[in-house]
Amino acid sequence: MNIFRLLGDLSHLLAIIILLLKIWRTRSCAGVSGKSQILFALVFTTRYLDLFTNFISMYNSAMKLIYLVCSYATVFLMYFKFKATYDSNHDTFRMEFLVVPVGGLAFLVNHDFTPLEILWTFSIYLEAVAILPQLFMISKTGEAETITSHYLFALGSYRALYIVNWVFRFYTEGFFDLIAIVAGCVQTILYCDFFYLYITKVLKGKQLTLPA
Amino acid sequence: EFVGPKHDEL
């Protein structure tokens, strides 16, 4: 564990909690892509199956459980409790366009051809692109609530911090996991455009709107 | 035997 990884994990946790609190306190999930949230729940489910097979630390297991519970809670709030506020007309990205190619790639490019390892690889690839329905939704409506943009910033920062962690681990431990690194870089690149808008607009007190 | 990286990250 190093400081970058810890900050990355905390940033990830912060993002998940910001989103849950936003939905709970406003009693609304307007502007949030349910498809991205379903994909994230799928990411955690397929990655954290090793909770049953591989013990790393209390911290590791606790965080996995928290991520899993929070992501399912978010999906539950969106599709059941506050379903009336879910903006499905704007959430039109087709999940199968991500899940099918990512599933195929996980079969072809992985560290080991075993069920758990393929599911882990699938989760890494899927996480890289799971935010696309959310970004697509924002590009359709042309705007995002400020709290939603805080959520996205925390979520994007998490993988960016992990990249620093991977550089650090490579030099200190000689550890590198090429699959995670390449997918993590793709994931971070997808957020770059959003980061730019966040810094130039939201941090200056304006709402995030896309140029016409 | 699987010799890939151990998945100790979240």
- Residue A210's pLDDT band (cuts 50, 70, 90): confident
Q: Residue A211 — pLDDT band, cuts 50, 70, 90?
A: confident
B1 touches chain A (CB under 8 A): no
CA gap A38, A24 in Å, rounded? 18
Percent of chain A beyond pLDDT 70? 100
Chain B contact set for A177 (CB, 8 A): 4-5, 7
pLDDT at A171: 96
pLDDT mean over A144-151 = 96
Please indicate if any CB of chain A lies within 8 Å of the CB of B5. Answer: yes
Interface residue of B2, B3, B6, B10 to substitute, partner A, most A CBs within 10 Å? B10
Beta bridge pairs of residue A150: none
pLDDT score recorded for residue A10: 98
A48 to chain B: closest CA residue? B10
H/E run at residue A209: strand A208-209
Q: What is the pLDDT of residues A40-49, one digit of tens each?
A: 999 999 999 9
pLDDT in tens, A76-102: 999 999 999 999 999 999 999 999 999
Q: How confident is the model at residue A135 (pLDDT cuts 50, 70, 90)?
A: very high
Percent of chain A residues past pLDDT 90, beyond the cut? 96
Question: Three-class SS of residue A143?
Answer: strand
Rg (CA), chain A: 17
* Phi then psi dihedrals of residue B9, to 5 deg: -105, 165
Q: Do B5 and A9 touch (CB under 8 A)?
A: no
Residue range A120-148: mean pLDDT, rounded: 96
Q: Output the pLDDT for position B2.
A: 55
* pLDDT tens by residue, A53-78: 889 999 999 999 999 999 999 999 99
Among chain B residues, CA nearest to A56: B8
| Burial of residue A66, with CB atoms counted within 10 A of its CB: 0-12 exposed, 13-18 middle, 19 or more buried | middle
**Rounded CA gap, A129 and A39, in Å?**
9
Choose among B4, B8, B9: nearest Cβ to A112.
Answer: B4
Residue with tokens 């609190």: A21
Q: Which of B2, B6, B8, B9 to mutate to probe the A interface, most A CBs <10 Å?
A: B9
Partners of residue A209 on adjacent β-strands: A143
Residues of A within 8 A of B8 (CB-CB) are: 56, 60
- The pLDDT of residue B4 is 59
- pLDDT for A60 equals 96
